[in-house]
Structure 1
């Protein structure tokens, strides 16, 4: 018998305890699938493939104090962009969040911290909002339980994929936006993923007129990037 894996399900006992599983039962929920073949944190990797049964104690590859069995995959947080007719990718000033962007098979909730504009192109008060997955239908809310719907036309979500889009004016220029996945509903003792952050870009557009005497002969639009990508 492996003293680090009493029930021989391929998951070390410390990892099972951390994930709310029974280290003495190889099928804690009795659904016919062993705890080792389950994916408790919904990151697309089976529990046994995230657990080291050759050593005592939690399996924690990134040394963040959270068992790998019990930590969902991180979301992706990127600057929104589009490819022009010339094939060049240009940033639009917005931000996009994908809860499943790093291969997660399931995510229950995303906690998002950001700083909005104040309505005068300045910096407003920091806010926290939540994307909540209710039986496969995603929505945006102001509370973590998903009872108070968010009313903000500058922030949208795809109800099927959970992808969240912040319009350029939704986030104050030069401020940080972060997102963090968790699976509280499927694993009551689960811990959140790492917090992934980006700094909002500032995009300024100028119009330059070329004149011949008093008549403009052409207008050129030039976009200037004032801030580069600064992931946390």
Structure 2
């Protein structure tokens, strides 16, 4: 008799259309996937991803950052309360366009993931495809990492590479990277949710 899969309740934070969010929701529809998507939370009430999540039967919530314009930590405490009420154990950032304070990052240490469109530690921050083209690299890609207080500096859980082709511009390179992001995030979340990848002493430990 096979052992039942323990599924960790995962919240996804979005700001926009949520293509990576949709990929994680799709993966979690499998009974043997170790993460259950328990909530999609947005800082933008008009985010297109909220309707996509609702259509998939996932609970949604919003905490509008504009209501906390002078206090970022108060905004994050409000988000944290929503996550807690929904019994969320892991948080995956999927196009969440707010820089998190050290308070939130430390509160979710080892349970907070992000996907970044570069092969970290290369090309942190924004406009990663432009940075890659300017640097003349032969390979580009994406990374899923644990979030730490320093931007895009957390230990990498998984990466996927794509070639940079002659004639590439930002748009074509972006499309190629996006084409592998979804499967990478699905795999990385599964590794963390199952305990196969853990953050220990500032490094990813497997096994």
- The TM-score, its normalising length taken from structure 2, stands at 0.27
Q: Which structure: greater strand fraction?
A: 1
- The TM-score, its normalising length taken from structure 1, stands at 0.25
